[in-house]
């Protein structure tokens, strides 16, 4: 069973509703003595953010003539670095170097990534609200 709770200023947990809090209490009663794992939720870039990114890449494509897919690969290599992929076979292994993915970026990191692209290209990031992405 999964629960989400927000840590409040006084360090107590806010489950968002009395119902969710009651479910939590029941879960605790049913699992006395067990160990639970708490994880901090990292908010990765959203689907609307990704769509906005591709809109921006298309604007850059229009300005530069470079295809958006090529821009995407270039920016990933330039700003995110690389990772090694190893495929192990029966007789040998194959290695390639691939760019890191934007998928793993948090919302804040993704915003910083866009700012780096804007700085490099000198092509302004469009206003998300004016582009129909409110809010991402």
Residues 6+ apart with CB under 8 A from 4: 15, 16, 20, 41
CA distance 76 to 89: 28
The first and second tokens of residue 89, run together, are 């076979």
Kindly tell me the burial class for residue 96, based on how many C-beta atoms sit within 10 Å of its own C-beta (0-12, 13-18, 19 or more): exposed
- Convert the pLDDT of each residue in 88-116 to its tens digit: 888 888 999 998 999 888 888 898 999 99
Overall average pLDDT of the 71-76 stretch = 96
Q: What is the pTM of this model?
A: 0.64
Hey, is 40 helix, strand or coil?
Answer: coil
**C-alpha 12 chain-centroid distance:** 27
């Amino acid at each position: 069973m999964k629960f989400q709770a927000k840590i409040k200023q006084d360090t107590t947990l806010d489950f968002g509703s009395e119902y969710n809090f009651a479910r939590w209490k029941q879960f605790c009663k049913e699992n006395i003595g067990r160990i639970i794992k708490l994880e901090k939720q990292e908010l990765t870039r959203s689907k609307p953010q990704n769509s906005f990114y591709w809109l921006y890449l298309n604007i850059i494509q229009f300005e530069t003539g470079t295809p958006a897919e090529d821009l995407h690969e270039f920016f990933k290599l330039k700003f995110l670095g690389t990772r090694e992929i190893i495929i192990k076979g029966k007789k040998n292994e194959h290695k390639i170097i691939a760019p890191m993915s934007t998928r793993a970026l948090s919302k804040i990191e993704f915003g910083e990534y866009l700012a780096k692209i804007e700085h490099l290209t000198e092509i302004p990031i469009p206003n998300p609200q004016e582009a129909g992405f409110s809010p991402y």
